[in-house]
Amino acid sequence: MKGEEKMKKSNLYEGLVYLSIGIACLVIGLNFGTRLESLLYGFAGAGICSGAVILWKYYYWTRPENRDRYQEKIEDENIELHDERKTILRDKSGRYTYIIGLIVISVSIVLFSILGSLNIIENTKLIILYLAGFLVFQYITGILIFSHLNKKY
């Protein structure tokens, strides 16, 4: 029981840290006119929202009427995480996603080099949007490959 209590306290502290960082970014963004203002607002939104969600979950799961359900949830999660078959499938899907990512990055380097040489791309916002899209692509590809392997095996 004591180990679980520490975990819950660490969730509380984690939520407070995220919330504090988000508020600090918001205060800096509002008080200082800087070129990083939009980035600070993004960090503020991410910090405040994720901190609030973590704190809400901490409050919800530590209420006495939810403690039994929380224990069941933790046990189910541990079973899922330590299932050997799923661990192997997660590793395989990670490897496949990594290989696909390397191919996409290699093609992208050549493509951006050509576009840069032809002076078609001078704006870094396009590259930032591309990288953000690539991040989403990697995440979704990993999930899709894992789902495919899970059905196949």
Q: What is the pLDDT of residues 19-76, one digit of tens each?
A: 999 999 999 999 988 888 988 999 999 999 999 999 999 999 888 888 888 888 888 8
Give the chain's end-to-end CA distance (angstroms, integer).
Answer: 37
Cβ neighbours for 86, distance < 8 A, ≥ 6 positions apart: 80, 150
Q: What is the pLDDT of residue 64?
A: 87
Quick check: 36 and 12 in contact, CB under 8 A?
Answer: no
Q: What is the pLDDT of residue 109?
A: 85
Cα Rg of the chain (Å, integer)? 21
Cβ neighbours for 43, distance < 8 A, ≥ 6 positions apart: 21, 22, 25
Residue 96 CA to residue 89 CA, distance in Å, equals 10
Two structure tokens written together for 55 = 């704190």
Per-residue pLDDT, averaged over 112-122, amounts to 80
pTM of the model: 0.63
